Chains A and B, each alone.
Chain A
Amino acid sequence: MKFEYTITTQNFTTAGEASSNTKKTLKLLGIDSKIIRRAAIMAYEAEMNIAIHSRGGKIQLEIEAHRITIVAEDQGPGIADIDLAMKEGYSTASHEIREMGFGAGMGLPNMKRCADSFDISSTPGGKTRVVMTLNL
């Protein structure tokens, strides 16, 4: 079962809908509530990262019998230093974004903490792709 959600850059009104739909879908399928919470956090942080930091992108959700896979892919501009981006508290978000309570530098660490597997690839100037899985 596959779903795809388009995320528009800087649109904080609709941001949260992909993760909300992810949660609803998993709930309908009767997935364990602890797994749903982790998936919701992963999807939310991925969605917000795309909205805040990128030129836009998409979130793909795939549900298989033994695994949930969430893939977040954006249209750039890429991450210069992935190790630094993975550090809790580090953020490149603007002052305005921080004032809204975003940009705490916890998005990527939150995703990694909730996922059973986490892979991020990015090239400066290019796309960023995050692949996360949850075992069922």
Chain B
Amino acid sequence: MQLSDLIHHPDFDYLTPQLAVTGDIPHVRSCDLLSWVMAKGQKGEAWVTVQTHSNIVAVASLLELGCIILPESLQPDEETLQKALSSEVPLLSTSLDTYGIMQLFFQT
């Protein structure tokens, strides 16, 4: 799955369109424990989380994750959005639940 495929997918809203995206997403992870992601997260992967506060951007930026996906139409805090832009972390929201997101990755 290319990150560009994801941002153009009809079920996804790309919340940081100011950021140009390139590259493949090698892996997807669903987790809401920040230290768990800190321990296991790999460069380039997509991270699905229901956490919407700005610290998710700090984690994604430090690990150079490919993007953050908020499932089930969750929206980020304004602070999170601004931090995602300044840290250049692509941020997406989707109407899909985590199962639906995983299905999408599995099918491609």
In the assembled complex, B63 has its CB within 8 A of some CB on chain A? yes
Contact B54 A12 (CB under 8 A): yes
Given known contacts A13-B79, A110-B39, A100 and B58 CB-to-CB distance under 8 angstroms: no
Taking the nearest CB of chain A, how far is it from the CB of B47, in angstroms?
Answer: 11
Question: Interface code B64-84, partner A: CB below 8 Å = 1, 0 otherwise?
Answer: 000000000000000100000
Question: A16–B38 contact, CB under 8 A?
Answer: no
Main secondary structure, interface of B, reads: helix
Q: How many residues of B contact A (CB 8 A)?
A: 21
**Interface size for chain A: under 10, 10 to 19, 20 to 34, or 35 or more residues?**
20 to 34
| CB-based A-B contact count at 8 angstroms | 65
- Which of A16, A19, A48, A100 is most buried by chain B, counting CB atoms within 10 A of its CB? A16
Q: Does A5 contact B (CB under 8 A)?
A: no
In the complex, 15 of the A-B residue pairs with CB atoms within 8 angstroms, ordered by the A residue number, are: A12-B55, A15-B55, A16-B58, A20-B58, A20-B61, A40-B62, A44-B59, A101-B55, A102-B35, A106-B33, A106-B35, A106-B36, A106-B38, A107-B35, A110-B38
